[in-house]
Amino acid sequence: KQEVTQIPAALSVPEGENLVLNCSFTDSAIYNLQWFRQDPGKGLTSLLLIQSSQREQTSGRLNASLDKSSGRSTLYIAASQPGDSATYLCAVKAMDTDKLIFGTGTRLQVFP
Amino acid sequence: DTAVSQTPKYLVTQMGNDKSIKCEQNLGHDTMYWYKQDSKKFLKIMFSYNNKELIINETVPNRFSPKSPDKAHLNLHINSLELGDSAVYFCASSQARYRNTEAFFGQGTRLTVV
């Protein structure tokens, strides 16, 4: 059974810092891994999608890597800003069930 | 131009009532989903439809009945609402089943049962 874990659960940093959010999964049989952002009381915004055959994806200040064999992904946020404050969720799309299985999330606060 | 839209955004209702949440996607996707986010913010799949056919039905009480009138719509009807049904319900869509495709989510419907 696929399980997805995110570390840390919460993070509070001053703006300008470079951040690393971690996501681990137990079954490497995945189509892809997706990183989302959720603002309080809002929906999910897709940030990056990494296909199972890829090693990383970049979008602006965000860089996500994937090591499928070790069941790990990291989301790197460069030069963090207060506007980056949100909950970050990773999710894997499982091959056997076609479901998106979500991690527990990392709640990020960037203060000025 | 919203890709996945849900209505209503907020829903407050009494125990025992029946309510529906509507979802529409304008992305031309074949697959649509309902997810539930509990009070601890954990997201879990409830249902998945592909071309109007029910594909995934997790261990959800049969008071929850999804309906897909066409590929672009997936509605969720809930009978005899209970306090424990209070949660945020998210609709999502993706291009196809068993493919390396990106999922897009609606803004969520916050259901509060009193």
Over residues B39-59, the pLDDT tens digits come to 888 999 999 998 888 888 887
pLDDT surpasses 80 at A24: yes
SS3 B19: strand
Q: Which of B21, B27, B105, B111 to mutate to test the interface with A (most CBs of A within 10 A)?
A: B105
Which of B88, B36, B95, B105 is CA-nearest to residue B71? B95
The label of the residue with tokens 């999964």 reads: A25
Nearest neighbour of B98 by CB, restricted to A89, A98, A104: A98
- C-beta atoms surrounding A19 within 10 Å: 19
| Percent of chain B predicted with pLDDT > 90 | 73
pLDDT surpasses 90 at A44: yes
Across B14-52, the runs of DSSP E, i.e. the strands, are 19-25, 31-37, 43-50
Across A1-112, the runs of DSSP E, i.e. the strands, are 4-7, 10-14, 19-25, 30-38, 44-51, 56-59, 62-67, 72-77, 86-94, 100-102, 106-111
The mean pLDDT value for A22-48 works out to 93
